[in-house]
Structure 1
Amino acid sequence: MSSAPSASEEPDATAAVTALEPLAAPMRAETASPDAAGGDLDPLAGYVEVGEGSWIPAGGPGDCTGSAYLSIGTAGGKGVAELLLPENLADTGSRRFADGEVGYDGEGRIATYTAAAGDVEGVIGERLCVDNGGLLGMLNGHAPDEPIQPGEVLVIDPAAVPGFEYEGTSD
């Protein structure tokens, strides 16, 4: 039995590190399904690709049958934003923290949302079937710590709002 090293002795760090074994990557059983060819599990079953190597759950939150996804970034030094899978946008009804008014474009597509007192971006996203609704503030020029305001008209689908240009945030 070994004892703890004295102040003058150095512990053998190599022995401690080599004793560790790598952990297996976790797999969510509810999203894995047998592969038709040979029974292997497909870790991406139940997900849909939204581009750039990003995947989201195929079903949406709550009453949503699918999810839309906000893509925000830069291209050529300019901020760009688009709503991917906009056909999945749906108003699932007013609720606590998402009690504002939904605005539609001339074709009946969800385009904007007018915030009510106490509304929260992520809950607005759940109401409208946006997977990453927490980014709605950023899409509309808010810094991460800057809340949306009652009466503020938020763009939900940039393609459905003529003349909208994403300008990024000041942070």
Structure 2
Amino acid sequence: MKLSAKITIATSGLVVAGLVALAVPAFASIGQAVRSAAQGAGGVAETLEPTAVPTPELAVTEPAAVVDADPCSERAWIHAGSMRASLSGDLVDMGARDLAAGTVGLDDEGRIKTYTVAPGDALYAIGDRFCIENPLAISGLNHTHMIAPGELLLLAPDSSIPWVDYYAPADAPGGFEQVPYQLALQAMSRAAHAGDVDAMRTIFADGLREMFPRQADADLIAQALDLGDLDVLRQMFA
């Protein structure tokens, strides 16, 4: 190898070595700076651990108590059928209201017995007023499909007094003609409330009697008509 080439290689090596030597103090200076910063903060450099974020606790809400919206502590039930009508439970007047603003009739012991319909009254509202569970039974009990202002409704029937079935007599055969039967009963009801026993006897004799399949039921009605007891007749054909 020529002397000039050897000098060039040696010079290059010195240059590289010098660059490395220059870089080491630089890296050393950066490390010293980091250590100095750590010492200024607390004297010792520590590894930072990630801070756990606490999970917020959800407030537990107790379920609201169920409030019974029915002001009636108990409700009465009207039973009607097989020539008898009765009431389970007691009637309580919760006060006049919209759709049930009529007047109350009491029996000799001060218990609710009847109700006089006011304009705009409805069966459901009447049932709510007197705590009746099955208010639609009021119309059937009183031998009518629709109530009318001024009509006197029986609410508490006497179970010891016979009551005539409105929709069909007991043991009615298939194909029984319900409309003529109900029209006759409605006429009997109007005559009973008017106190016209003679009119009731005429209606019964002119066709209603033959509509009863059971002779015993027809005889029971005939006996009440013969006695002319309006208290009994007004319940039988309320």
* 2:78 counterpart of 1:70: yes
Listed one character per residue, the Cα deviations across residues 136-157 of structure 1 (whole Å, up to 9, x for unaligned) are 0110001xxx310100000000
The aligned residue for residue 228 of structure 2 is none
Structure number with higher helix proportion: 2
4+ long deviations beyond 4 Å: none
Listed one character per residue, the Cα deviations across residues 67-118 of structure 1 (whole Å, up to 9, x for unaligned) are 11011222xxxx3211111x3x100011111110011101011000000011
Check whether the contact 1:62–1:126 (CA below 8 A) recurs between aligned residues: no
User: Structure 2 vs 1, CA of residues 166 and 127 (structure 1 numbering), >3 Å: closer, same or farther?
Assistant: farther
Percent identity, aligned pairs only, is: 36
Q: Residues 1-171 of structure 1 correspond to what in structure 2 (within 5 A)?
A: 62-74=70-82, 79-85=83-89, 87=90, 89-142=91-144, 146-159=145-158, 165-169=163-167, 170=182
Matched residues in 2 for 1:164 and 1:94: separation? 31
Could you tell me which runs of 5 or more consecutive residues in structure 1 were left unpaired when the two chains were aligned.
Answer: 1-58
CA-based RMSD of the aligned residues comes to 2.5
SS for the counterpart of 1:159 is coil
Check whether the contact 1:100–1:113 (CA below 8 A) recurs between aligned residues: yes
Larger radius of gyration: 2
User: In structure 2, what residue type is equivalent to 1:83?
Assistant: L
Could you tell me which runs of 5 or more consecutive residues in structure 2 were left unpaired when the two chains were aligned.
Answer: 1-67, 168-181, 184-238
TM-score (norm 2): 0.39
TM-score (norm 1): 0.54
Check whether the contact 1:140–1:166 (CA below 8 A) recurs between aligned residues: no
SS for the counterpart of 1:64 is coil
Matched residues in 1 for 2:149 and 2:165: separation? 21
Check whether the contact 1:100–1:116 (CA below 8 A) recurs between aligned residues: yes
User: Structure 2 vs 1, CA of residues 163 and 152 (structure 1 numbering), >3 Å: closer, same or farther?
Assistant: farther
Check whether the contact 1:66–1:129 (CA below 8 A) recurs between aligned residues: yes
SS for the counterpart of 2:139 is helix
SS for the counterpart of 2:105 is strand
SS for the counterpart of 1:116 is coil
Q: Structure 1 residue 62: deviation in Å?
A: 3.1
Aligned length: 103
SS for the counterpart of 1:103 is strand
Structure number with higher strand proportion: 1
